Amino acid sequence: MAVNAKDYKNIPKEKFEFVHENERLTDKKFDDKPIGYFKDAWIRFRKNRASVVATIIIICIVLFAFIMPVINTRYDATFMDAFYSKKAPRNLFLRQFGICDGGIDRDFSERGYIMAVSVGIGAEDWDGHGATLEEGMASEYQPIIKTGEPFTALDAMRRERTMYPARIDTYLELGFVYRSIEQSEYDDIVAWEEETGLKVCYPLVENNEYNLDASDANNWYKTERGTPVTVDENGNTEEIDFEEGMVLEDNYKRDSEGNLIYYEYTGGGSIETAQYRVRVLYYNYYQYKNGFEPEYIFGTDSQGYDLALRMADGIKLSLLVAVSVSVINFIIGSAYGAIEGYYGGVVDLTLERIADILAGVPFIVVATLFQIHLAAKLGAVPCLLFAYVATGWIGTAARVRTQFYRFKNQEYVMAARTLGAKDSRIIWKHIFPNSLGTIITSCALMIPAVINGESMLSYLGIVKLSTTEVTSLGSLLSDASTIWTNYPHLMIYPAIVLSLLMICFNLFGNGLRDAFNPSLRGVEE
């Protein structure tokens, strides 16, 4: 028998009973506090561990870029010493623990090993008394840090030769150099030597048959065809072997009375302007000029700049370009895509064809043309920004357009339009906020793309971003590309930083994408 719904009104209340009276249906406590859109996104972003770690790494890299120039009070971005170019990382505190000692591992022939240790011997033999091997090895200017057991190897002619493995300090290895200075500076050096007790000027070397290369100030001992020799009174020579107690016979210049010559006049008309040619121990000369010993925590680049400061400048430049491009493209793309998506029809068709034409122009062509015709007038960085902005906003505009097509016919938009809201208010107050998550995510993912593009262009030399005051990570990698096998730190440090920036910004963008996904709102992971 069919029961009419009206018959339920005649059933007494006493006939009804609770099925689960006094029973708890669930143990879950519901939080009735309202959670905002961004707070909910932040909660979900924190649960993405990879994105959180990536964010921390990005913050550390940014702090390095801005703090390094502040804490490095000895050098600035323009400080450059060509004699100390391509040098390994060196720190006086860490050096005592065998870290950042400025050294590299190398296998020496006997002749090369004698040449290396001769720097320490020559530093102790500043008065020509004939320093021994033991004195030279104990010298604070001895570039050999540690040695290994000699071994036998075959040379290119398949002949056996003894090799000496050692770790050598590349800063002390430079040894002696010739300098042309004014007499007034020579007097200042002499006064500084007396004040500090450090020796800067050393005896000049005679240019004779025992000098293998007159331009090399480290050839201070007598040699024949590169082999150290001793010469007797009759002019007969005898080779010097590498052994305990070895004493290299100096080839210093002396006057008629046998006194050592420490400088020679090369020109100039007065005492103040007279030019002297001197032979200096460059490590001490560096201290005389700058007031401190050379320390570079990441070493020096191919020109002699502090690599840590150059990397800091490169990071700041990459972030400046990437963030600026992202913000500008966000503004242009949002406005362009909003107009397309909201009005549709002919407006959308026309604007889309314009975007299609611009999208068909290769970015590298635009960047190259801007650098050729505008870089001399506006600078390389503004031209690079123009190249990115010329077509970079198209992707953002397409995403905004899609979001507007998705939301413009929703009930809340129709209600706002019915109440008389203007188009501008509907676009920016009602539709745009709902599209913000997708747009922010696209802008965050644009940053690593710009960093990669900027590094590629500067690496290829299309964009010249390396000056005395600023450089880019791509330029540092380009400078190291042909010499990194001999100086790996020039490639390793910039490559690590660039890789971390790329990976971490992508993970950060992925975290934002998930955090701002409306379909995950309120979902606990």
With vertex at residue 226, the alpha carbon angle to CA 224 and CA 232, rounded to the nearest 5 degrees, is 30
Residue extent(s) of CATH 1.10.3720.10 domains in the chain? 52-68+305-520
pLDDT digits (tens, 9 = 90+) for 256-273: 888 999 999 888 777 678
Report d(CA 223, CA 211) in Å as an integer. 6
**Residue 492 near residue 35, CB atoms below 8 Å:** no
Question: Looking at the predicted structure, is the pLDDT value of residue 317 above 70?
Answer: yes
Helix/strand/coil for 153:
strand
Instruction: Extract the tokens encoding 380.
Output: 């390389």
What was the pLDDT predicted at 96? 85
What was the pLDDT predicted at 87? 93
CATH superfamily of 52-68+305-520: MetI-like (1.10.3720.10)
Question: Looking at the predicted structure, is the pLDDT value of residue 514 above 50?
Answer: yes
| 3-class SS string, 49-95 | HHHHHHHHHHHHHHHHHHHHHHHCCCCCCCCECHHHCCCCCECHHHH
Q: For the chain, what is the radius of gyration of the CA atoms?
A: 36
pLDDT digits (tens, 9 = 90+) for 221-254: 999 888 899 988 888 889 888 888 889 999 999 9
pLDDT digits (tens, 9 = 90+) for 129-173: 888 999 999 999 999 999 989 888 876 667 788 899 999 999 999
CA dist 2 → 5, 6, 7, 13 (Å): 10, 12, 11, 22
CB atoms near residue 381 (< 10 Å): 18
Phi, psi of 335 (to 5 degrees): -65, -45
Of the listed ranges 242-251, 296-305, 340-349, 431-440, the least confidently predicted one is 431-440
Phi, psi of 73 (to 5 degrees): -80, -15
Q: At what angle are helices 282-290 and 183-196 packed, to 10 degrees?
A: 100
Confidence of residue 525 (pLDDT cuts 50, 70, 90): very low
